Chains A and B, each alone.
Chain A
Amino acid sequence: MDSRKFRAMNRRELLKLTPLLALGAFAIPKLQTPLLKAGLGFSDWASARLFRGSHLAPTFADSELTPFNKFPINDYDVDDPQVDFDRWTLTVSGAVQKPGDYTLAQISQLPKITQNTKHICVEGWDVIGRFGGARLSDFLRMVGADTTARFLYVECADDYYESLDMATALHPQSLLCYEMYGQPLTREHGAPLRLTLPTKIGYKQAKYLTDLKVTNVLERVGYWEDQGYSSFYGL
């Protein structure tokens, strides 16, 4: 083969690789944000497909529990938002037949579930805790929620807010938690009521709940999600 022909052939082969330059789009600030948002969105879509409502998160023996004093307290601002327990209610609104204010006494009348499950933080650490409370699905039935609605939205005493897909809300291990390690929830851990969701990452498991809404439309997704974290983050 003539050397010029050989060089031309080499050039053609090299040019075939040029589609790879499209990855450079990730280096352009204007395109980077939407591209990464799309990538994260695709991961969330895949997460939702992978979620199985009947698949239980592993549970653990009492001997495997992380000692209570070594169960981390994570907040975004204050450990104790000074909830007035005597006047506290959970305000329920949205697509429910019985909206209104629900007391802790009403919630604790629902069958109590106690489970030793793993709490995994987005930072990478994990602990095993003992959580007690009412099934979120039982509570939704009690308030006559439309379970064909897409989301649950919650607000907290410390301005934190979160949302949850309905499939996860109806999961048998998703709890409205009022007990940890057999004791009433402490203020730092979210008294009087928090979410315990063994199929979700830690930041989804909001503390100091004050409001719960059943809805098809989310104005805000969650405190961390609205800053760029995964919206679904199912484990």
Chain B
Amino acid sequence: MATATVTVEDAKTGEVTEAVYEHPFIVRFCHWLNVVALFVMVGSGLQIFRAFPSFGAKIPQKDLLNWPKAFALGGWLGGALQWHLTFMWIYIGTGLVYLGYQTFSGNYKQVLFVRRDLPGVWPMLRHYFFFGPKPPMKEAYNPLQKHAYTTVIGLGVLSVVTGLAVWKPVQFSWLAWMMGGFHYARVWHFAIMWAILAFVFGHLVMVALHGWNNFVSMLTGWKKNPEYTVE
């Protein structure tokens, strides 16, 4: 998809800056809806986990960790299940709208990590972690960003699939079986949540490092003075 660019001329000073339309409306809408849905799913999920904070036997029960109630949502198991079973529809719906839009608009090219992105991985790693020079950029996302976004979207899909196996281990017994049964479907569901949270942490750090102008682009779609040159 061709990216729209405009030149903005300041009414007073006459200064000219470039601006690029980076995030289509559907993507921004889904992003922020997902922020809320994911927050609720994780918070209520952790409260559900508190009811049996173990992946071993019930007798004898060995707790994996004592997750603090203050960092959970729903107050009790029944309340948390209400949140979880309500927001899962929002979470799934958001994901479907996002994936559908990206696929049919062609905008997926902005985020999908493909073979062509491979050569750019090392220069970017060198820049981030070993003080290497910043590689020139010709698109919105660098190869590492694309890799991160592609991975987390895959994790999002897996969180739904594993969740389905935990919720319906009989009707979708084949799905649960593929994951090693209900018991392991629950383990996968939990592990995938932490993988998503690891992404969220890294994402927030990067957003903080890249400043206000970059952050605003996820609200308005437009980014002033992009770091890259659009061809």
Contacts and interface: CB of A to CB of B under 8 A. Distances in A.
Interface of A: 1-4, 6, 9-11, 13-14, 16-17, 19-20, 23, 26, 35-40, 42-43, 47, 50-52, 55, 57-58, 66, 69-72, 118, 120-127, 198-199, 224, 227-230, 234-235
Given A3-B11, A9-B222, A39-B86, A198 B170 contact: yes
Given A35-B86, A40-B82, A4 B77 contact: no
B174 to A, nearest CB: 10
Interface stretch (B24-32, B108-116, B123-131, B199-207): B24-32
Contacts of A123: 51-52, 77
Given A39-B89, A228-B78, A52 B171 contact: yes
A43 B171 contact: no
B159 to A, nearest CB: 16
B229 interface: no
A124 B51 contact: yes
Residue from B59, B183, B216 whose CB has the most chain A CB atoms within 10 Å = B59
Interface in B18-67: 19, 25, 28-29, 32-33, 36, 40, 48-49, 51-52, 54, 57-59, 61
A228 B168 CA distance: 20
Interface of B: 6-11, 19, 25, 28-29, 32-33, 36, 40, 48-49, 51-52, 54, 57-59, 61, 77-79, 81-83, 85-89, 168-171, 173, 177, 182-183, 186, 216, 219-222
Given A2-B9, A40-B82, A227-B78, 14 more contacts: A3-B8, A6-B8, A10-B216, A13-B25, A17-B32, A20-B32, A20-B36, A39-B82, A40-B85, A51-B171, A70-B58, A224-B78, A229-B81, A234-B171
Nearest to B21: A13
Residue from B8, B48, B61, B79 whose CB has the most chain A CB atoms within 10 Å = B8
A4 B12 CA distance: 10
Contacts of B85: 39-40, 43, 230
Contacts of B222: 6, 9-10, 13
A4 to B, nearest CB: 6
A50 B55 CA distance: 27
B6 to A, nearest CB: 5
A196 to B, nearest CB: 13
Nearest to B7: A1
A58 to B, nearest CB: 5
Contacts of A122: 51, 77, 81
Contacts of A198: 170
Nearest to B14: A3
Contact of B11 (A4, A14, A50, A72): A4
B170 A199 contact: yes
Contacts of B49: 124
Given A2-B11, A40-B82, A229-B78, A127 B170 contact: no
Nearest to B35: A20
Nearest to A43: B85
Contacts of A58: 170, 173, 177
A58 B54 CA distance: 23
A116 to B, nearest CB: 14
A57 B170 contact: yes
A172 B16 CA distance: 75
Contact of B58 (A35, A39, A57, A72): A72
Nearest to A60: B181
A55 B11 contact: no
A120 B51 contact: no
B48 A124 contact: yes
A6 B170 contact: no
A126 B220 contact: no
A126 B182 contact: yes
